[in-house]
A and B are shown apart, each in its own frame.
Chain A
Amino acid sequence: MTTITEDYHAHPDATGHFGPYGGRFASETLMDALDELSAMYTKLKDDPDFRQQFDKDLAHYVGRPSPLYLAERLTKNWGGADIYLKREDLNHTGAHKINNTIGQALLAKYSGKPRVIAETGAGQHGVATATVAARLGLKCVVYMGAEDVERQKLNVYRMRLLGAEVVSVTSGSRTLKDAMNEAMRDWVTNVDDTYYIIGTVAGPHPYPTLVRDFNSIIGREARRQILEQTGELPDALVACVGGGSNAIGLFWEFLNDKGVEIYGVEAGGHGLDGDDHAAPLSKGRPGVLHGNRTYIMANDDGQISATHSVSAGLDYPGVGPEHAWLKDSNRAKYVAITDDEALDAFRELTRTEGIMPALESAHAVAYAKKLAKQLGKGKRIIVNLSGRGDKDVHTVAALDGLSI
């Protein structure tokens, strides 16, 4: 008997489809720009000069490799599997988002376009984009939902200091999805001189692929590091899923390692029983949003739902198409963590290890706590600590009834 094993690295196909998901559901005005971007990326991704420049920037500008840290005290307190934290929070600008913006800024540079735009939720991608734009002398406009502008004030000011224009988006639900709509509108209008740096593994082909590739450095390093430190592969991976870029970044290198369990953690908000969450993989259905087919949250009429999460970076009704595919093929499991559980994990990691995680990453930490108990002692879990919590101090303080 022969066993047919799926090669999880064989996706997407030439037209950007991960099974039924992904693709290029974009306005005609953008189709040529997307074709050009695909052609340019296909050429550059294997180009030694491009690779070298990317690796050099990651090493000397971002500060990679990021450590893989065995959180001994946390492990002991939880009394289960060993917890290894992949420290993306230590990257320049404080999150994994910079891996992608370094790569896309290089693409923007090669394309010769003098202006970059981005959408942002938590502001981490906006800051990472404003940062690379400052470094390359590119004009930068960042779209951000009005609600997020309010709850992520620190990052808004950081972007402005970096020279970016931050546009507060007041249409729709005034969060990340609306910021993305507005960025698309800008791009359609200014496609000749503007490069759109999408911040997650969503959008029309080739974005889900190139954003994944730039973030896959996380898993490449983590796999090497865990082998160096323990001589073995981990038993499980855990990462939070907004659009899904930090998660796929960690998962990708391990997808064909069948013994490694993979968990993506969505934002459960006030709980999956109600409507106040941002968990399309757990509670949504396949549909089309922002240029690709994927799981999304919408009402009976197909109108996109307003989502809720305490963390702005997870507050999105869609998810990258590759995650939709990994869910259907059962290679990864998708679970949810509520606001309260995430906040508890935020405090616990801060107090136990002296590491203050982003509220997004705190969702992964909270799920790792449950999983550590299930797997038990002697097993190993890698948790992607996708970002640091400085930007969220304000939000947590407000929940404590303090204004700082």
Chain B
Amino acid sequence: MSRIAATFERLKSEGRKALIPFVTAGDPRPDVTLPLMHALVEQGANIIELGMPFSDPMADGPAIQRANERALANGMSLRKTLDIVAEFRKTNQDTPVVLMGYLNPVEWMGYETFVKAAHEAGVDGLLMVDMPPEEGGGIVDYAKAVGLDLIYLVTPTTTNERFEIICKRSTGWIYYVSLKGITGANTLNVDEVAERMRWIEQHTDIPVCVGFGIRDGETAARVASVCSGVIVGSVLVNAIEKLESESAIEISSQVSKLLGDMRTAMDRA
């Protein structure tokens, strides 16, 4: 069983929901990411979503745009992102790592080379923001061959027909984007999400996790109650920005504490 499937299975048996932090690899500096990943796990992260920095993050709001800019300015690259995952795996063999990003750096490296390198580094899944299932043909066979999950997005504008296609192509989990907009938007409507989730869960057995707009323990707990897990991004990235000039240890401890508060709220609910 894949690390991702095992994680959801275990959480289900414990009656808990997945808490999935998103941070951009190399933000604000490459040396921060590894200790930050370990600290996030200590504070209750079940899966880590690691952003592969890109110069033109079209689906992201200002906070994550700046995170990408900081990481790139400090020498981050796709290769170095994979190196960090490989380091992380040396001491953590249980927590799944999913890479999230935009297609061009991956195309540039070549699908076959990338998938092989990602698998060897210990990456479990891949979520490409600008690769809908229709355009995933170039990577799917390589991913299948090594058991790398391909996670696709579903949004409030996804039609039922598209939803069926996406379910067929998705492995690992489905990422439900809670709102029409970019990361960092502030318009999450929990009731709307709950209603949509009821429909979605009737149509698929794959775990569905919800991201975009989750800001604090309360929203995390409320959203988690209607799905399999939540993804938390901009809140953490905003905190990293504020702590930019602090040491790696300090950033890791403060940012992961924010996640810990959400964990507590979710487990209490």
Contact = CB atoms under 8 A, between A and B. Distances in A.
Contact of A33 (B55, B152, B157, B181): B157
Majority DSSP secondary structure for residues of A touching B: mixed
Contacts of B153: 27-28
Interface in A95-122: none
B254 interface: no
Interface in B157-194: 157-159, 162, 166, 177, 180-182, 185
A290 B58 contact: yes
Interface in B53-106: 53-62, 65, 69, 72, 77-79, 102-106
A301 B68 CA distance: 14
Contact of A189 (B55, B107, B158, B185): B185
Interface in B101-125: 102-109
Contacts of A33: 157
Contacts of B53: 303
Interface string A285-315: 1111111010010101111100000000000
Contact of B157 (A15, A29, A181, A303): A29
Nearest to A27: B59
A29 to B, nearest CB: 4
B130 A185 contact: no
Majority DSSP secondary structure for residues of B touching A: loop
Contacts of B78: 301-302
Contacts of A35: 159
A29 B175 CA distance: 12
B154 A302 contact: no
A189 B182 contact: yes
Nearest to B157: A32
Interface string A250-291: 000000000000000000000000000000000001111111
B135 A303 contact: no
A229 B159 CA distance: 53
Given A301-B77, A301-B78, A302-B108, A185 B56 contact: no
Interface stretch (A18-26, A209-217, A354-362): A18-26
B103 A288 contact: yes
Interface string B126-164: 000111101100000000000000001111111100100
A298 B108 contact: yes
Interface of B: 53-62, 65, 69, 72, 77-79, 102-109, 129-132, 134-135, 152-159, 162, 166, 177, 180-182, 185
16 contacts: A24-B135, A25-B132, A27-B58, A28-B177, A29-B181, A33-B157, A171-B69, A172-B55, A172-B69, A181-B58, A184-B59, A188-B181, A286-B107, A287-B104, A287-B107, A298-B108
